[in-house]
Chain A
Amino acid sequence: MSGAPTKTARAIAAAVQTGELSAESSIEQALEAIARRGGLGAFLRVDRDRALAAARAQDRGRAAGRDPGPLGGVPLAIKDNLCTRGLATSCGSRILEGWVPPYDATAVERLAAAGAIVVGKTNCDEFGMGSSNENSAFGPVAHPEDPERVPGGSSGGSAAAVAAGLVPLALGSDTGGSVRQPASFCGIVGLKPTYGRVSRWGLVAFASSLDQVGPLARDVRDAALALELMAGPDGRDATAAAVPVPRGLAALEGDPRGLRIGFLRDLSEREGTEPAVRAGVRSAAEALAAGGAAVEETTLELAEYALPVYALLATAEASSNLARYDGVRFGRRTEGGAGPRGMMEATRGAGFGPEVKRRIMLGTFALSAGYHDAYYGRALRARARLAAELDAQLARYDALLLPTSPGVAFRRGERAGDPLAMYLSDVFTVVASLGGHPAISLPAPRAAGALPVGVQLIGPRFGEPLLLRAALALEERGFAAAGVA
């Protein structure tokens, strides 16, 4: 930990707005911090020259009377599975090594248009497949508070960068928990918006029906601001919903009075949930109730199916989404074998890591003739039922409360040989992923020396204002990242 309080994105933007801080020095500070904490492995690429050039241009613009924007001068880190024009995007995979996208992801483009300055690309599990960032082809990311531990994944680099105070804001992507779980491990805020809230254009697909771009931030209002700025329909993504974007999210108040909270207690305290996590969630329920929210214990009957359903659907989609990495048009090609097929096999054999191969094989199997209906078909039907149950619960409650992950950050290598144990760390996050519901992870208060614990709130679809209001209520009651100014 750097020790010094870290400014929020809003504080930086406000200082840049008034001229108290130049965009250039804001970016320089971030670049210095990134260099200083290079050992974390959080960044795969730092875009130093362009970031500084953009900052100087912003400063000149401000001098000429132009508004730097709501995120003016804010250093932004981007998970390496989001396309950045002119800046290599590898998805943590050898197979895409050196590929430079000719376009920006919509989320990146919109935040940049609001003044944010991209300082670099963050490490991640290969194609977003992992919960520890150990599956990156370019090395692991260390937990900012304990180098022996993992930061979570797959947006591990983004989470570590924010938690270590290198940047106030980072983008990640969340397919089954990849924003929320590392936020939980690293003790910061991670928001997965409603599916369809943020365009997926330029987000390299893992499982298209689940993938969402989400912010990792040091407080709820920064996450809310980022969401508001990047959300909304996009002609380039047919699944980006034509739903109006709520405005003024960062100005929401966290009044718990009148909020109806469903505490998924049985689910939260299932076997395997660590005591610190149980305690964290229970204290969230108590804090909300004490603040005047109506907190009720409730259940989610179908939650126990969420993990296998997720495993089938996500791998099935991945097996198709990753078919394009064949060495024909872009990325790495490995010659070998006979004919184009031999080249494709050699390329994929050499280019993908073991976890990606495992999931492609699982997904291919789930979709193959003779097994399609038993696996993929049933999973699809189960998903619809789970989503319906979530919708029904979120008609009764404004938000559901549960842990983000069953445990705290584990030691590197501890689960590397046990994919099932690794998948189990997604048990609480895949629920909202399958339903398409927005969900947020917040750090629970902790004793000195204890590792961070995340609590999760799930909101109604396209009900981010309600979800964020509940999150703010918790934040104001001590569910906040350490050392935020």
Chain B
Amino acid sequence: MEPVRAVIGLEVHARLRTRTKLFCRCVAGPGGAPNSRTCPVCLGLPGALPAANREAVRLAVRLAEALGAEIHPVSTWARKNYFYPDLPKGYQISQFDRPLATGGRVRIEPPGAAPRWIGIERIHLEEDAGKSLHEGFGDDHSGIDLNRCGVPLVEIVGAPGLASPDEAFLYLERLRSILRATGVSDAEMEDGDLRCDVNVSVHGDGEPWGARVELKNLNSFRGVRRALQHEIARQAAARRAGSATVPETRLWDDARGETRPLRAKEEAHDYRYFPEPDLPALALDDALIAAARAGMPELPHARRDRFAAALGLPEADAHRLTVEPTVADYFEQVAQAAGDPRAAANWVLTELLGLLRERGLPIGESPVAAADLAELIQLAGSGAISGKTAKDLLARVAAGEGRPAAIVEADGLSRLDDAAAIESACRAVLDAHPGEAAGYRGGKAGLLAFFVGQVMRRTGGRADPGRVHDTLRRLLG
């Protein structure tokens, strides 16, 4: 089969982490009884006028700075006109021909390949629309909730530089890390903080790009990946069959795992953009730019590199630790306090994240403080407690029983190092199982593991399994 190449570009909308909306002072966060977070401005009442939220501008500038985009000292607002019941003014205030920033880039690291920089075309501010609710209002009515109306969004228009669904996934994951690390957005897809439209085309080697299809209704990163896999396959099959792909907008149906075209009527939009006469040009003053740059954190890709290079972590671990900035922060605290980055990485990635996943907790609500995990790692690393004890101890710390060293002290959990005590435990086990001892001596070597297990149980897991093993062999020999 002739290989096809895909060209993918993503348009991401992220809700800015402001207290209030973009053009009025209504609360901007998710939640609230329907239409409770509205005022004349976001309801589009006659005579009401917008006034831009400086904090939203600051956050968008901060993102542009983090992405290395060219920030324009003067940009303009524009109206995007269309009729929809959840769009109260009949237009959305956005930015069009003079956006806040242009250019910029995001680095992705496809496994087994060199890192790649994906270009950004533009970054601009706009207001969100409301929500139409089609359930619970009978067949002939819909409900409208305008709480979301006027919520500040930043749109990040990526260049068509992604070559595969996996790259699209990595790009989204990295963009989300940046949004969170910089405090620009909570970037929770479930809360609708992050939304994504996808453009994709396929072509053969050396051919011009194919017709571009836009995919909508993508509600998760995995959904984006699946939708792209499906759509690329669909376009490739059409190409093989000799039928042309038409430029169109298609809806992703996550339940059915397929895309379907939007009706032509839904698609036919002439937005009639023109400069928003209610708002002066957006001029960035020095104080605002300074505030946007203040306290800019180390970006996720740089952190990933540092974890690998300076802390000596495997690339894969460094990557996994830097997907969530809060996880990376936690890890760094543990690594520093424990003095052993590799052990800290193992403990965080396997034991701690596993425990949090089971309980459905974000790391910010971890029942195990970074200092406690570090203490535990030190106890295990010094040989003071066995590995088995250490894992049990994590559960007990998580259960709120106290700090690791205190639990070890109180319950006498420190590792059994006394050779005489280990030997006495081994003898007791052998005495209790004469039949198995005879069996081992008769050639059933596999029974040694049974004896080790019995000794560990007898010592409450405190004995070093290696030494138990050696002692048993000596006694049975």
Q: Which residues of A contact B (CB under 8 A)?
A: 82-83, 89, 91, 96, 99, 101-103, 105, 200-205, 207-209, 235-239, 316-317, 319-320, 322-324, 326, 328-330, 340-341, 344, 364, 367-369, 372, 376, 380
Q: Roughly how many angstroms separate A209 CA and B277 CA in the complex, as a whole number? A: 5
> Which residue of A207, A329, A364 contacts B88 across the interface (Cβ within 8 Å)?
A329
Q: With CB as the reference atom, state the residue of chain B lying closest to A328.
A: B85
Q: Say yes or no: B270 contacts A369, CB within 8 Å.
A: yes
In the complex, chain B residues whose CB is within 8 Å of the CB of A235: 51
Q: Say yes or no: B81 contacts A323, CB within 8 Å.
A: yes
Q: Say yes or no: B46 contacts A324, CB within 8 Å.
A: yes
Contacts A238-B278, A316-B274, A376-B274 given: A102-B51 contact, CB under 8 Å?
A: no
A-B contact count (CB 8 A): 105
Give min CB distance, A45 to chain B, whole Å.
16
Contacts A103-B40, A320-B274 given: A238-B279 contact, CB under 8 Å?
A: yes
Q: Say yes or no: A102 contacts B40, CB within 8 Å.
A: yes
Give min CB distance, A360 to chain B, whole Å.
11
Q: Roughly how many angstroms separate A322 CA and B46 CA in the complex, as a whole number? A: 9
Q: Say yes or no: B83 contacts A203, CB within 8 Å.
A: no
> Which residue of A202, A207, A209, A369 contacts B47 across the interface (Cβ within 8 Å)?
A202
Q: With CB as the reference atom, state the residue of chain B lying closest to A237.
A: B49
Contacts A209-B277, A239-B280 given: A323-B91 contact, CB under 8 Å?
A: yes
Smallest CB-CB A-B distances: 10 pairs: A323-B90, A209-B277, A208-B277, A367-B272, A204-B46, A202-B47, A83-B47, A340-B85, A324-B44, A369-B270
Q: Say yes or no: A323 contacts B274, CB within 8 Å.
A: no
Q: Say yes or no: B85 contacts A320, CB within 8 Å.
A: no
Q: Roughly how many angstroms separate A340 CA and B140 CA in the complex, as a whole number? A: 10
* Interface SS majority for chain B: loop
User: Is residue B212 contacting chain A, with contact meaning CB distance below 8 A?
Assistant: no
In the complex, chain A residues whose CB is within 8 Å of the CB of B226: none
Instruction: List 12 other contacts, CB 8 Å, given A201-B47, A320-B272, A324-B90.
Output: A89-B46, A102-B45, A208-B277, A209-B277, A236-B51, A239-B279, A316-B274, A324-B44, A326-B83, A326-B85, A328-B88, A341-B83
| Residue of A91, A238, A317, A368 ringed by the most chain B CB atoms within 10 A | A238
Chain B residues numbered 35-61 whose CB sits less than 8 Å from any CB in chain A: 40, 43-52
In the complex, chain A residues whose CB is within 8 Å of the CB of B424: none
User: Is residue B469 contacting chain A, with contact meaning CB distance below 8 A?
Assistant: no
> Which residue of A209, A236, A237, A344 contacts B83 across the interface (Cβ within 8 Å)?
A344
Q: Say yes or no: B278 contacts A239, CB within 8 Å.
A: yes
Q: Roughly how many angstroms separate A380 CA and B278 CA in the complex, as a whole number? A: 16
User: Is residue B79 contacting chain A, with contact meaning CB distance below 8 A?
Assistant: yes
In the complex, chain A residues whose CB is within 8 Å of the CB of B280: 238-239
In the complex, chain A residues whose CB is within 8 Å of the CB of B363: none
Q: Say yes or no: B142 contacts A324, CB within 8 Å.
A: no
Chain B residues numbered 49-98 whose CB sits less than 8 Å from any CB in chain A: 49-52, 79, 81, 83-85, 88-91
Q: Say yes or no: A320 contacts B91, CB within 8 Å.
A: yes
Q: With CB as the reference atom, state the residue of chain A lying closest to B38.
A: A329
> Which residue of B49, B83, B89, B142 contacts A201 across the interface (Cβ within 8 Å)?
B49
Chain B residues numbered 411-433 whose CB sits less than 8 Å from any CB in chain A: none
Q: Say yes or no: A236 contacts B272, CB within 8 Å.
A: no
Q: Say yes or no: B46 contacts A101, CB within 8 Å.
A: yes
Give min CB distance, A339 to chain B, whole Å.
9
Q: Say yes or no: B46 contacts A96, CB within 8 Å.
A: yes
Q: Say yes or no: B278 contacts A330, CB within 8 Å.
A: no
In the complex, chain B residues whose CB is within 8 Å of the CB of A99: 46
User: Is residue B437 contacting chain A, with contact meaning CB distance below 8 A?
Assistant: no
In the complex, chain B residues whose CB is within 8 Å of the CB of A208: 277-278
Contacts A89-B46, A101-B45, A204-B46 given: A324-B88 contact, CB under 8 Å?
A: yes
Q: Roughly how many angstroms separate A14 CA and B45 CA in the complex, as a whole number? A: 38
Q: Say yes or no: A329 contacts B47, CB within 8 Å.
A: no
In the complex, chain B residues whose CB is within 8 Å of the CB of A202: 47-48
Q: Roughly how many angstroms separate A15 CA and B51 CA in the complex, as a whole number? A: 41
Q: Say yes or no: B46 contacts A91, CB within 8 Å.
A: yes
User: Is residue B311 contacting chain A, with contact meaning CB distance below 8 A?
Assistant: no
Q: With CB as the reference atom, state the residue of chain A lying closest to B44.
A: A324
In the complex, chain A residues whose CB is within 8 Å of the CB of B48: 103, 201-202
Q: Roughly how many angstroms separate A200 CA and B47 CA in the complex, as a whole number? A: 8
Binary contact readout B256-273 vs A (1 if CB under 8 angstroms, 0 otherwise): 000000000000001011
In the complex, chain B residues whose CB is within 8 Å of the CB of A380: 275
Query: Can you offer 22 A-B residue contacts whose CB atoms are under 8 A?
Result: A89-B46, A99-B46, A101-B47, A102-B45, A103-B40, A204-B46, A237-B49, A238-B49, A238-B279, A319-B272, A320-B81, A320-B91, A320-B274, A323-B81, A326-B90, A328-B88, A328-B144, A341-B83, A344-B85, A369-B272, A372-B272, A376-B274
In the complex, chain B residues whose CB is within 8 Å of the CB of A330: 45-46
Q: With CB as the reference atom, state the residue of chain A lying closest to B80.
A: A320
Q: Roughly how many angstroms separate A340 CA and B43 CA in the complex, as a whole number? A: 18
Q: Roughly how many angstroms separate A237 CA and B279 CA in the complex, as a whole number? A: 8
Q: Say yes or no: A236 contacts B277, CB within 8 Å.
A: no
Q: Roughly how many angstroms separate A330 CA and B90 CA in the complex, as a whole number? A: 13
Q: Say yes or no: A200 contacts B49, CB within 8 Å.
A: yes
Chain B residues numbered 272-301 whose CB sits less than 8 Å from any CB in chain A: 272-275, 277-280
In the complex, chain A residues whose CB is within 8 Å of the CB of B270: 368-369
Give min CB distance, B140 to chain A, whole Å.
9
Q: Roughly how many angstroms separate A238 CA and B277 CA in the complex, as a whole number? A: 10
Q: Roughly how many angstroms separate A201 CA and B88 CA in the complex, as a whole number? A: 18
In the complex, chain A residues whose CB is within 8 Å of the CB of B277: 207-209, 239, 317
Q: Roughly how many angstroms separate A103 CA and B24 CA in the complex, as a whole number? A: 15
Q: Roughly how many angstroms separate A368 CA and B270 CA in the complex, as a whole number? A: 7
Contacts A235-B51, A328-B88, A340-B142 given: A364-B272 contact, CB under 8 Å?
A: yes
In the complex, chain A residues whose CB is within 8 Å of the CB of B274: 316-317, 320, 367, 372, 376
> Which residue of B50, B51, B89, B279 contacts A324 across the interface (Cβ within 8 Å)?
B89
Q: With CB as the reference atom, state the residue of chain B lying closest to A341.
A: B83
Q: Say yes or no: A329 contacts B46, CB within 8 Å.
A: no
Q: With CB as the reference atom, state the residue of chain B lying closest to A204.
A: B46
In the complex, chain B residues whose CB is within 8 Å of the CB of A317: 274, 277
Give min CB distance, A322 to chain B, whole Å.
8
In the complex, chain A residues whose CB is within 8 Å of the CB of B81: 319-320, 323, 367
In the complex, chain A residues whose CB is within 8 Å of the CB of B275: 380
Q: Roughly how many angstroms separate A23 CA and B144 CA in the complex, as a whole number? A: 47
Q: Roughly how many angstroms separate A96 CA and B45 CA in the complex, as a whole number? A: 11
Q: With CB as the reference atom, state the residue of chain A lying closest to B43.
A: A329
Give min CB distance, A270 to chain B, whole Å.
29
In the complex, chain A residues whose CB is within 8 Å of the CB of B279: 238-239
